[in-house]
């Protein structure tokens, strides 16, 4: 069979069979060309919140197409972008007042880093250091790779990456060490911003930490005049149990990045929200203080319309109730592995559940990961372990039976893999 001309992401084509073609999406399922139904247990890389093709979002996209295509956003605006910005400010942590649109989670974070550096530059203050947490992942642009964990993801691009200061991950036994390290770095007076995934580090292995650490880091940043950037690309839109993870630490970041669930996962869109202070630092009769960032598709009207519809769903449907039900289902299913020696570090953060298969080889390239993925697919499940880390992050419409089937498969697949090692 001739291979497709398409180059797929995070795929070693020399080791993978031809891609399964999907002809239809529906609720919590992907349906392939042969009619097989595949449970999307990871929300198609964490983007689908309410379920595939939610009718309210699909209708909004259809209506927008009748009126709009792309509009240059440097000289013009449009109703979907304006309505969405107002809605985002309404649901975001109090104090965020301005919205800058982009196209993906990576660019949302890239925008945030540039906002932070521009904030100090435009005030004539030398602050050029970005602080991040070890094991973090913020995207695949040059700036976000620089801020993310160094390793197999970005080793080939090392000559392009800039240096950042890294904090130890705040595991329960060393949470205070993380806070102390941040304060030590801040004493230099050079820290422009702390960039952090609040409560859960996604691609770094679904590592979770306490909300108290988040509030502690924010307090230190404020004390030393550094900005706090919350990368809520994955953690936003209910994934950790609240609209945004920062709410659980009762903090307002200076800059907040959102994407993925922003449109319910239907189409690409991202937004970077900031305080008035950051916007005002770029507001000047001196054109050199302009915020110099854009893309051709900034604030695409069709994407904005889908995000407005997503906000309508949050207002009119019992989304938080669905999230609480999913949290309870995850908690109930995880109990079966509480004393299971095959697994370690069993954890949950809102609707996200994760557990580590106990094997000698760990990390993203652990061979056990692709083996488990193939076995899950044979059972009609889309579950993509992060090396030996198995996680479930399904859409909020997933049923108890579907979720139970996913946990049954985790149980079965773990035994197969361990027996055949």
Residues 212 and 108 occupy one common structural domain: yes
Q: Give strand pairing partners of 382.
A: 40
- Of the residues 316, 339, 360, which one is the last residue of a structural domain? 316
Q: Which residues of 102-139 are buried (b: 16+ CB within 10 A; e: fewer)?
A: bbbbbbbbbbbbbbbbbbbbbeeeebebbbbbbbbbbb
| Same domain flag for 308 and 367 | no
Look at residue 97 and tell me if it is in a domain. yes
**pLDDT tops 80 at residue 421:** no
| Same domain? 141 vs 130 | yes
Same domain, 300 and 325: no
Among candidate residues 270, 292, 316, the one where a domain is terminated: 316
Give backbone dihedrals phi and psi of 90, rounded to 5 degrees, phi first.
Answer: -70, -40
Instruction: Give pLDDT tens digits for 228-243.
Output: 999 999 999 999 999 9
**Which CATH number do you get for residue 393?**
3.90.1150.10
Give every strand in the sheet of 352-357, ordered side by side.
343-349, 352-357, 389-392
Give the Cα separation of 417 and 383 in Å (integer). 15
Q: What is the CATH number of the domain that holds 240?
A: 3.40.640.10
Q: How confident is the model at residue 365 (pLDDT cuts 50, 70, 90)?
A: confident
308 and 324 belong to one structural domain: no
For residue 66, the 8-state DSSP code is T
Q: List alpha helices for 47-139, DSSP H.
A: 55-65, 79-91, 105-121
Q: What is the pLDDT of residues 136-192, one digit of tens each?
A: 999 999 999 999 999 988 999 999 999 999 999 998 878 999 999 999 999 999 999
Print the domain residue range for 380. Answer: 318-419
- Based on the fold, state whether residues 207 and 294 are members of the same structural domain: yes
- Within this chain, do residues 346 and 308 fall inside the same structural domain, yes or no? no
| Residue 176 falls inside a structural domain | yes
Q: Which residue has the tokens 């995934």?
A: 197
Q: For a pLDDT cut of 70, what percent of the chain falls above it? A: 100
Inside any domain, residue 343: yes
Confidence (pLDDT) at 361? 87
Q: Which 3 state secondary structure label does DSSP give 50?
A: coil
Residue 164 lies in a domain: yes
Q: Is residue 5 part of a domain?
A: no
pLDDT at 3: 78
- Please tell me whether residues 334 and 310 are part of one structural domain: no
125 lies in the same domain as 209: yes
Q: What is the dihedral of CA 218, 219, 221, 225, to 10 degrees?
A: 130
Closest CA to 252 of 213, 214, 308: 214
| In-domain check, residue 233 | yes
Q: Is residue 19 part of a domain?
A: no
Split into its structural domains, the chain has a count of 2
Using the Cα atoms of residue 249, residue 384, residue 264 and residue 81 in order, give the sign of their dihedral. Answer: positive
| Burial readout 149-174 (b: 16 or more C-beta within 10 A, e: otherwise) | beeeebeeeeeebeebbbbebbeeee
This model's pTM is above 0.85: yes
Q: pLDDT tens for residues 295-351? A: 999 999 999 999 999 999 999 999 999 999 999 999 999 999 999 999 999 999 999
207 plus 283 within the same structural domain: yes
Q: Measured between alpha carbons, how far is 233 from 135 in angstroms, rounded to an integer? A: 16
- Are 96 and 196 part of one and the same domain? yes
Residue 420 burial by Cβ neighbours in a 10 Å radius (0-12, 13-18, 19+): exposed
DSSP string, 250-300: T---SEEEE-GGGGTTSS--EEEEE-HHHHHHT-SSSGGGS-----TTTT-
Residue 2's pLDDT band (cuts 50, 70, 90): low
Crossing angle for the helix pair 319-334 and 400-419, to the nearest 10 degrees: 30
The CA-based angle 125-186-200, given to 5 degrees, is 115
Residue 9 lies in a domain: no
Model pLDDT for residues 95-114, shown as the tens digit of each residue? 999 999 999 999 999 999 99
8 A C-beta contact, residue 370 and residue 384: no
First to last CA, the chain: 31
Q: For residues 178 and 350, what is the distance between their CA atoms, to the nearest angstrom?
A: 23
Q: Of the residues 316, 345, 361, which one is the last residue of a structural domain?
A: 316
If asked whether residues 103 and 116 sit together in one domain, one would say yes
3-state helix, strand, coil in the chain (%, to 5): 40, 15, 45
């Amino acid at each position: 069979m001739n291979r497709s001309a398409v180059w797929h992401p995070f795929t070693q084509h020399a080791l993978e069979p031809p891609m399964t073609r999907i002809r239809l999406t529906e609720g919590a399922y992907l349906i392939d060309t042969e009619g097989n139904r595949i449970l999307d247990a990871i929300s198609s890389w964490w983007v689908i919140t309410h379920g595939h093709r939610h009718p309210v979002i699909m209708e909004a996209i259809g209506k927008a197409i009748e009126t709009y295509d792309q509009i240059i956003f440097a000289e013009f605006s449009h109703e979907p972008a304006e309505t969405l910005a107002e809605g985002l400010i309404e649901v975001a942590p109090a104090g965020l007042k301005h919205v800058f649109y982009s196209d993906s989670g990576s660019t949302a974070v890239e925008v945030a880093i540039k906002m932070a550096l521009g904030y100090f530059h435009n005030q004539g203050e030398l602050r050029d250091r970005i602080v991040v947490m070890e094991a973090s992942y913020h995207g695949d642009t040059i700036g976000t790779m620089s801020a993310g964990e160094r390793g197999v993801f970005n080793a080939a691009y090392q000559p392009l990456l800039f240096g950042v200061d890294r904090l130890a991950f705040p595991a329960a036994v060393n949470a205070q060490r993380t806070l102390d390290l941040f304060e030590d770095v801040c004493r230099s007076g050079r820290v422009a911003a702390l960039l952090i995934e609040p409560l859960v580090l996604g691609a770094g292995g679904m590592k979770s930490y306490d909300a108290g650490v988040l509030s502690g880091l924010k307090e230190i940043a404020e004390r030393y005049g550094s900005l706090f950037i919350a990368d809520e690309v994955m953690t936003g839109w209910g994934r950790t149990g609240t609209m945004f993870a920062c709410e659980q630490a009762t903090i307002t970041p200076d800059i907040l990045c959102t994407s993925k669930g922003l449109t319910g996962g239907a189409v690409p869109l991202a937004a970077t929200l900031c305080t008035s202070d950051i916007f005002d630092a770029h507001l000047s009769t001196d054109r050199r203080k302009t915020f110099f960032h854009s893309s051709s598709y900034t604030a695409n009207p069709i994407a904005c319309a889908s995000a407005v519809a997503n906000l309508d769903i949050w207002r009119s449907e019992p989304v938080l109730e669905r999230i609480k039900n999913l949290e309870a289902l995850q908690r109930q299913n995880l109990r079966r592995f509480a004393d299971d020696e095959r697994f370690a570090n069993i954890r949950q953060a809102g609707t996200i559940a994760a557990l580590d298969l106990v094997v000698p080889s760990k990390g993203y390239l652990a061979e056990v990961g692709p083996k488990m993925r193939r076995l899950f697919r044979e059972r009609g499940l889309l579950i993509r372990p992060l090396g030996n880390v198995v996680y479930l992050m399904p859409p909020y419409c997933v049923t108890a039976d579907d979720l139970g089937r996913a946990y049954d498969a985790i149980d079965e697949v773990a035994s197969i893999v361990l027996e055949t090692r």
